[in-house]
Amino acid sequence: MTENNYGSPWDVIIIGAGAAGLTASIYLAKAGKNVLLLEKGSYPGGRAISTEMAGARVNLGGHALFRNAFRILHEVGVTVEGTAPKPPGLLMFKEADGKERAVPLSQLLLGSFLTFHEKIQLVRFYSSLRKTDTSALQHVPLRAYLESHISSPRVRSVLEALVRLSTYCEAPDLLSAGAAIHQLQHGQVLYIDGGWQTLVNKLVEQAKKAGVSIRPSSPVLEIKGSYPKMSLVLKDGTQLASSFIISTAGPADTMSLLNPALPPDEAAIYQQLIPVRAACLDLVVSGMPRPKTKFVLGADVPWYYSNHSAVAALSDQPGTEVIHVMKYLPALNKKDPKQDERELQGFLDSIQPGWREHVIKQRFLPSMLVSHSMVMAANGGLPNRPGPEVKGRPGLYVAGDWVGSEGLLLNASLASAKEAATLITNYEQK
């Protein structure tokens, strides 16, 4: 299709040119489908973009690529370079007087911070981690699971911190223990050289190579019809016809586009989902006061600090480093952006005193969307997440980090994108 031929019927139109949309488009185009990819922003990538700050490539908050995403990335022709970060060097604990105490991770088992009994509990948990049957724990809240297996509140706080690190989720009373432990079992990550923009660029390259038409600055107003006569109306009035539509716009946004709306009982599946968010302080710095402090994780405080430049190439300027500081935000409590920013600055004051003198440029994202939905125990965990097919609307599919029974975060986006593309391909072959 040429640039002036967007009004012609398409086999598939995909809403959203983030990782899920780009991945689905590649599978479909390689299967011989005529694919149009619409992006409301001025360029593809969604939340996976990196921005230029003082000559450095800075992700939107601290991003890490789980290695089990490689399989699907390789299938669509994408490889990225990067390095695995070392485990957190320090864990932050709240003392009885309200002050924070930084404890080296190595001292949890070797020092006196934990009692002998607590050390045994921690060792036993990790020795049995790989053998844990997560399918039996999908409907069990994480906190309830830990309380039934770990008597020490301090050890539970360490394990909850490691779950936050791998899921970005600060809701142990709601989060599925099965989903959380599965994520810990597959927790190997790397920081990508050049930032996540490198991943976006390679997905865009493969999509264009496969014949996908990408149209930026094209926000959608309505989704109408059903297979085989579906249509989209853009906010500028443009009407587009297609046999199938995939929306990667998130549950609330997708539901708001439907005309007519889904029946209340069907829409309820999407309306009950709770997003995962984080307050992010992104810094470009000229070194830091304590250069050996590269990775700090809050134990009973929901904080994160990581020098991503310690392992990934993110700047061409010698001595310039990219630091990400985050607060994992509670799921249901009211947020206070100014208080969250002060918390993160105070966290930095305690681990990197004098850090402000090293800042070249900084950015605060008060409520960064990490995932459109946590995996909730009350909903049955991973197996009961919404699937790619939208029931009652033949021809309409969804994909993203909240869809399908496989994985979290980017892994869920890629897996659901592949599944949606496969369902469409197989639908036409029936």
For 10-49+198-273+385-429, CATH number out of 3.50.50.60, 3.30.700.30, 3.40.50.720, 3.40.50.300 equals 3.50.50.60
DSSP letter for each residue of 282-318: EEEEE--SSTT--EEEESSS-EEEEEGGGTS--BSST
Per-residue pLDDT of the chain (430 residues; tens, 9 = 90+): 333 345 679 999 999 999 999 999 999 999 999 999 999 999 999 999 999 999 999 999 999 999 999 999 999 999 999 999 999 999 999 887 878 899 998 889 899 999 999 999 999 999 999 999 999 999 999 999 999 999 999 999 999 999 999 999 999 999 999 999 999 998 899 999 999 999 999 999 999 999 999 999 999 999 999 999 999 999 999 999 999 999 999 999 999 999 999 999 999 999 999 999 999 999 999 999 999 999 999 999 999 999 999 999 999 999 999 999 999 999 887 789 999 999 999 999 999 999 999 999 999 999 999 999 999 999 999 999 999 999 989 999 999 999 999 999 999 999 999 999 999 999 866 5
* Lookup: tokens for 189: 């990550």
> By the 8 A CB rule, do 67 and 79 touch?
no
Break the chain into its structural domains and give their ranges: 10-49+198-273+385-429, 50-85+189-195+276-371, 115-185
* Lookup: tokens for 35: 């694919």
Nearest to 134 by CA among 147, 124, 145: 145
| Global pTM exceeds 0.85 | yes
Backbone angles phi, psi at 253, to 5 degrees: -65, -40
> By the 8 A CB rule, do 385 and 375 touch?
yes
Q: What span, in angstroms and rounded, lies between the C-alpha atoms of 418 and 8?
A: 25
Q: What span, in angstroms and rounded, lies between the C-alpha atoms of 175 and 408?
A: 12
In this structure, which topology does domain 50-85+189-195+276-371 adopt according to CATH?
Polyamine Oxidase; Chain A, domain 2 (3.90.660)
Positions of E strands within 1-138: 10-15, 35-38, 50-53, 56-59, 65-66, 82-83, 90-94, 100-104
